[in-house]
């Protein structure tokens, strides 16, 4: 069902909220009911110990769908600012914003001006206010930087296109142009893109411009490829980075890095290396994470560029290690195998860079929602979050995953509106051509009040992470415990350590085989049912699908 964007009134927005919240079936495990036993008091909350560095908990915001502040049905920067207290209270101290620059597309990945804000999202003042409010809260703000391509409406491309339609003036390239409008020989912007006189054979990524020229555009006709082999183009992006860092951005998410020079990772890494050196010179604390949608072996090579992080696709999506651990069967898909995979990731990254920070995630704006790939099973959704948020590095959580938001199939569905409450507060219309979304779980407001909700599981997991810096920063060692569905790791950082124990079986277990257990104490725990708790009384007594955090006394 197409989104009837311009027909929705304020009252219709409330109706839309009801549609978005309705489900064709109920989750396999429902939210907590008033008739359930009283949840035990959680006794292990400690003082936060948040370090101001580049290890953070990131929240990905697709601005178009996140929160509408002015009633036009489109999310905006002021809407993001209005939700900063929520984001901070959840335990996130980093935000990645989807592209915010002027664009003809709803997703904004076709950039028309790298120095401005899309008017649908607000003004530069709105961005500056958002950045200032993030800084007050200790939240690092990342913006999406698209260096692989621009819009065909960008002035660089328009200038080049106009020149290509004129004849050469006759003057040598190192001499002034004789035409009133600069000719193709003298227009520097022609070398910003890939143009050719003949369409290359065997490819569909070239489009005609004028009567006898072609330009390359891999993603769509409206997104011409930029020539990053041109030092002038690289310099442009260094200036763009300077501009946004000065405006208050704390770093960048780099889009489509492997497509800078498709099939040539060495060239891609060289571009990244130059960009990273520049950014770190301008702001040594800035953080850059790259999208390299490749296999584990291939994407980890990009750490040799000096980039802070590359997204950990080995853990993400239906095919990733997290979903396989939750959905799969057998030793290769066990939590014990997951524990070993964490060590493998850390060692591989360290082999390329001693400053590498893993960036694991379950899903993002390009992938099917986590709730769907886990069968809308509440226990599985929580258990997957538990794996993600006990990994080292800087985990990224896609907005709405903390409430089990739905979205699969076409891209627009994966970017559906965030559901804040049952009244439609801040509700957006969602992307054009988004199909009807049937969400199986409650809105943010309802889940905040429900101790047993998915949201509150995420919140406690993030709290424990923020109480214990070694979870994100430490080196992982796998400990020996019996059973494929039981795993234990020790995470050590700066002289401190914490032992993380997983019971990912479907029944309670008592674990006694950890060395020194009698001298340890519970630091915190995660259970998929709030009426259950982890106990340490001789042995470590753990409910099904629970995680215990234990330390020396």
Annotated catalytic sites, by residue?
255, 291
Q: 50, 472 in Cβ contact below 8 A?
A: no
> 3-class secondary structure for 285-341?
CCEEEECCCCCHHHHHHHHHHCCCEEEEHHHCCCCCHHHHHHHCCCHHHCHHHHHHH
Cα 461 to Cα 81, 340, 349: the distances in Å are: 24, 21, 24
Cβ atoms of 65 and 79 within 8 Å: the answer is: no
Q: List Cα–Cα distances, 292 to 8, 114, 266, 309, 541, in angstroms.
A: 38, 22, 13, 10, 41
Whether the Cβ atoms of residue 476 and residue 392 lie closer than 8 Å to each other? yes
DSSP 36-63: SPPPPPP---------SSS---EEEE-H
Query: Is the CB of residue 393 less than 8 Å from the CB of residue 287?
Result: no
């Amino acid at each position: 069902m197409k989104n009837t964007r311009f027909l929705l009134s304020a009252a219709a927005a409330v109706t839309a909220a009801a549609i978005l919240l309705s489900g064709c079936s109920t989750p396999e495990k429902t939210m907590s009911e008033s008739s359930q036993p009283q949840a035990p008091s959680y006794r292990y909350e400690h003082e936060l110990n948040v370090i101001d560095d580049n290890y953070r908990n990131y929240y990905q915001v697709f601005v178009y769908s996140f929160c509408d502040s002015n009633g036009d049905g489109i999310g905006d920067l002021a809407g993001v600012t209005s939700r900063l207290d929520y984001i901070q209270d959840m335990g996130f101290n980093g935000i990645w914003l989807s592209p915010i620059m002027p664009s003809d597309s709803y997703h904004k990945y076709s950039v028309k001006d790298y120095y401005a804000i899309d008017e649908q999202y607000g003004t530069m003042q709105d961005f500056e206010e958002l950045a200032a409010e993030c800084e007050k809260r200790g939240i690092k703000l990342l913006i999406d930087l698209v260096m692989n391509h621009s819009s065909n409406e960008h002035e660089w491309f328009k200038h080049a296109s106009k020149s290509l339609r004129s004849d050469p003036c006759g003057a040598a390239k190192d001499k002034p142009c004789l035409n009133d409008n600069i000719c193709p020989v003298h227009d520097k912007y022609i070398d910003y893109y890939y143009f050719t006189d003949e369409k290359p054979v065997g490819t569909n990524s070239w489009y005609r411009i004028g009567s006898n020229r072609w330009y390359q555009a891999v993603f769509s006709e409206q997104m011409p490829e930029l020539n990053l082999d041109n030092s002038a183009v690289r310099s442009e992006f260094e200036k763009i980075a300077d501009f946004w860092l000065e405006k208050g951005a704390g770093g960048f998410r780099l889009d489509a890095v492997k497509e800078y020079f498709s099939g040539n990772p060495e060239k891609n890494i060289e571009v990244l290396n130059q960009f990273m050196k520049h950014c770190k010179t301008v702001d040594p604390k800035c953080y850059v994470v790259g999208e390299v949608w490749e296999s584990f072996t291939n994407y980890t090579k990009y750490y040799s560029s000096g980039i802070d992080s590359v997204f950990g696709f080995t853990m993400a999506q239906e095919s990733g290690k997290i979903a396989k651990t939750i959905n799969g069967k057998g030793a290769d898909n066990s939590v014990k195998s997951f524990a070993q995979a964490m060590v493998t990731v850390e060692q591989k990254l360290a082999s390329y860079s001693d400053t590498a920070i893993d960036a694991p995630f379950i899903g993002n704006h390009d992938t099917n929602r986590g709730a769907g790939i886990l069968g809308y099973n509440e226990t599985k959704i929580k258990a997957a979050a538990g794996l993600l948020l006990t990994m080292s590095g800087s985990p990224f959580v896609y907005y709405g995953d903390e409430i089990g938001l739905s979205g699969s199939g076409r891209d627009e569905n994966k970017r559906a509106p965030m559901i804040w409450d049952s009244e439609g507060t801040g509700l957006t219309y969602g992307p054009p051509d988004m199909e009807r979304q049937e969400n199986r779980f409650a809105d943010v407001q309802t889940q905040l009040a429900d101790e047993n909700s998915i949201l509150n599981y995420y919140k406690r997991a993030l709290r424990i992470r923020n109480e214990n810096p070694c979870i994100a920063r430490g080196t992982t060692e796998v400990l020996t415990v019996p059973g494929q569905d039981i795993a234990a790791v020790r995470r050590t950082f700066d002289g401190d350590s914490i032992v993380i124990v997983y019971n990912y079986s479907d029944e309670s277990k008592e674990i006694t085989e950890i060395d020194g257990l009698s001298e340890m104490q519970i630091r915190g725990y995660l259970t998929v049912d709030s009426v259950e708790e982890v106990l340490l009384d001789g042995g470590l007594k753990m409910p099904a699908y629970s995680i215990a955090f234990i330390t020396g006394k």
